[in-house]
Amino acid sequence: MASERPPPAFAGAGQQSGLQVWRVERLELVPVPPSHHGDFFVGDAYLVLHTVRRPTAAAYRLHYWLGKECTQDESTAAAIFAVQMDDYLGGKPVQSREIQGCESTEFVSYFKGGIKYKAGGVASGFNHVVTNDLSAQRLLHIKGRRVVRATEVPLAWTSFNKGDCFIIDLGTEIYQWCGSSCNKYERLKATQVAVGIRDNERNGRSKLITVEEGSEPDQLTEVLGSKPELSECDDNDDELADITNRRSAKLYMVNASGSMKVSLVAEENPFSMAMLLSEECFILDNGAARKIFVWKGKDANPQERKAAMKNAEQFIQQMNYPANTQIQVLPEGGETPIFKQFFKDWKDKDQSDGFGKVYVTERVAKIEQIEFDATKLHESPQMAAQHNMVDDGSGKIWRVESSGRVPVEPETYGQFYGGDCYIILYTYPKGQIIYTWQGAHATKDELTASAFLTVQLDRLLNGQAVQIRVSQGKEPAHLLSLFKNKPLIVYKDGTSRNEGQKPAPPTRLFQIRRNLAAITRIAEVDVDAMSLNSNDVFVLKLPNNSGYTWVGKGSSEEEDRGAQYIASILNCQTAKISEGQEPEEFWKALGGKKKYQTSLQLLTRAEDHPPRLYGCSNKTGRFIIEEVPGEFTQDDLAEDDVMLLDAWEQVFVWIGKDANETERQESVKSAKRYIETDPSGRDKRTSIVIVKQGHEPPTFTGWFLLWCLSVDKVEILSTGKDK
């Protein structure tokens, strides 16, 4: 490990957009297959790299994760590998140390199905590539409403409580046990974990069974014995940091003397950007909120830059902070929004003063489509895991019908109906992958049929295919790449069981949006002016095959190209109009001019202040805030909570219909407290908008792609279970 030559496992690191995971095995790095991303053995250490490729550069987020039972040697090796990876990628990554159970919001956002903590580790002979293990016997404790963690605990009644959900994995059967006091959102998250085990670890061969407390079947009592009286709940909400702590921070300069010495630069925030010198390294101490940042100046001593993580760990010890305090190391020029918020005058190098500020944003970056080259991929599954891709194989698509799988015409590949389910078979020289795409408005029968037909297809392929269930709007990069350079299109409605496909209406409206992950999606939306959004491009198709391409003030070139593509698919000749220059015919076709989503913050989409969604609770007697990780959707709005949507220029307080009376009464006070404790010294006059569930204005719904006016989220998302 002391060699200057990078480890062989680094080959291919950061070459493709996406996620790569390695485990430390006998002080070497071994790639983890994508099907096991999100599974962590508590006795091990891991390296996790998230890459976003751009035409001229790339953005890297590098994390090393430490299980609670990993050895000191493994912990040290992971830290060294992180430094080596940072060197290998030119010092560009933002580095973070992640401790089991206290991971950063960014880290958990990579794993949409939640994180599973598995007992044991490499020293105990446990391996990530064990699949179809139908002899498994384990118990998983499901915790978290927004950040889901599934922890393996002793398979005994003493591990249970009435307030949570548990998964009893017996190999051929996977039982979801629901405590009498758990709520529907905890049930939903448990279902997602159980479905993930079935699809990713068992290739669809296990049966899912839901069990209510007090109605346990004989097979469970045979394994667990007679059920004793259970405790009420295991509430660890106190581990969440109080929102007031995020305001308190200090700035230190690290002395380049070879020993860990710091000098105080500023005792309270917000800080000035001028305090950061390119020749030095600094520690931003937000220890009260269990966060430490190390900023590395581009001209700082190379050895000091390499020792940044080690210095942060020593600083935590000197300050007597908890060992699980989060650490983030940032290179100059690679600062994150969380870091920038502590400065009152932050300005990126490409940002100018005066009229029309220029913002650097990943969202409008031009991403080159890279063709798969099978000749450059090694034969081993470890290399496939590194690339998170397979090769340039071919695909076949079927739509799920009452009669079974119905082939889709190849020229319409990449065009789905939101009321349908589809099965995509991807074949490459070494095997097959089956994607089951489930539309947001598919019926319960269609969801059930799609799961059945997927298992049936797998059996026809001798049970060797990898199965991946995909929900509308959550498509992975590899699935989208199968459609080559075409954006994904989702039409409204779907196949009627009795009447066949409904004829398309004469007037239609399509929304084109490109997200931070450089994925362009096209979705058919309601023909209504309220559907418009200044951040996007829309295509309005009129009855005579004419129409308009409406270009929002905050849209990108990629979205404009997506509009040209959907117009050609619709055989529609459109006239391009800019927002604010609409003719009367345009508004008439939309049913008249109405208010729609537009705000200065949305138009600029400033990287400094991206929109953020939080769940709020006073259940522990104090105001607790928990951020929703990753790209949030309408499904993240919990009906029994108050949610805060921070759009910077205004803060929305969304009140769920089942939120308790105290939370309703305290909601405005909570929003004021949120603004007052912003580390950047935010204007305390920032507007607060109260929104009730079911009465959301377009200024709120516009932050969510494909907002549904009426949808039972739990009913739709929980129908992936076997009955």
pTM over 0.95, yes/no: no
CB of 197 closer than 8 Å to CB of 207: no
Contacts of 561 (CB under 8 A, 6+ apart): none
CA 5-9-14 angle, 5° bins:
95
Q: How far apart are CA 113 and CA 102, in angstroms?
A: 17
Helix (H, G, I), strand (E, B) or coil at 518: coil
Higher pLDDT, 720 or 308: 308
Write the CA distances from 620 to 242, 587, 616, 641, integer angstroms: 11, 50, 11, 14
Name the average pLDDT for the chain. Answer: 79
In the block, residue with structure tokens 């070879």: 258
pLDDT band with cut points at 50, 70 and 90 for residue 236? low
- For the domain covering 8-112+241-363, report its CATH number: 3.40.20.10
Quick one: which H or E segment has residue 399? strand 394-401
At the topology level, CATH places domain 612-717 in Severin (3.40.20)
Residue 357 in this model has a pLDDT that exceeds 60: no
Contact criterion met (CB below 8 Å) for 233 and 163: yes
Which CATH architecture group holds 131-235? 3-Layer(aba) Sandwich (3.40)
Per the listing, tokens 């485990």 go with 23
Average pLDDT over residues 168-189: 87
**Paired tokens of 358:** 């220029």
CA–CA separation, 200 and 435 (whole Å): 11
Output the CA–CA distances (angstroms, integers) from residue 30 to 27, 90, 346, 419, in the order listed.
10, 22, 40, 41
Given a cut of 80, whether residue 387 has pLDDT beyond it is no
Return the DSSP state at 60: E
- Token pair, residue 637, equals 């709005």
pLDDT tens by residue, 315-332: 999 999 988 888 999 999
- How much of the chain is helix, strand and coil, in % rounded to 5? 25, 30, 45
**Mean pLDDT across 353-369:** 25
Q: In what order do the strands lie in the sheet with 642-646?
A: 624-627, 612-617, 642-646, 650-655, 687-692
CATH superfamily of 393-496: Severin (3.40.20.10)
The CATH class given to the 504-598 domain equals alpha beta
HSE toward the beta carbon, residue 303, CA cutoff 13 A: 6
Confidence at residue 252, expressed as pLDDT on a 0 to 100 scale? 93
294 closest CA partner among 315, 318, 312: 312
Per-residue pLDDT, 604: 45
**% of the chain with per-residue pLDDT over 90:** 28
CA torsion angle for 700, 701, 704, 708 (degrees, to 10)?
150
> SS3 of 512, please?
strand
Residues in contact with 126: Cβ distance below 8 Å, sequence separation at least 6, in sequence order: 41, 43, 118, 119, 120
pLDDT band at residue 86 under the 50/70/90 scheme? very high
The tens digit of pLDDT for each residue in 642-666 reads 898 988 777 888 988 888 877 777 7
Domain ranges in the chain? 8-112+241-363, 131-235, 393-496, 504-598, 612-717
CB 294 within 8 A of CB 330: yes
Mean pLDDT, residues 633-648 taken together: 86
Alpha-carbon span 33 to 434, nearest angstrom = 16
What pLDDT, on the 0 to 100 scale, is given for residue 668? 74
Give the pLDDT confidence of 195-231 residue by residue, as tens digits: 888 877 777 778 889 999 999 999 998 999 988 888 8
pLDDT at 365: 26
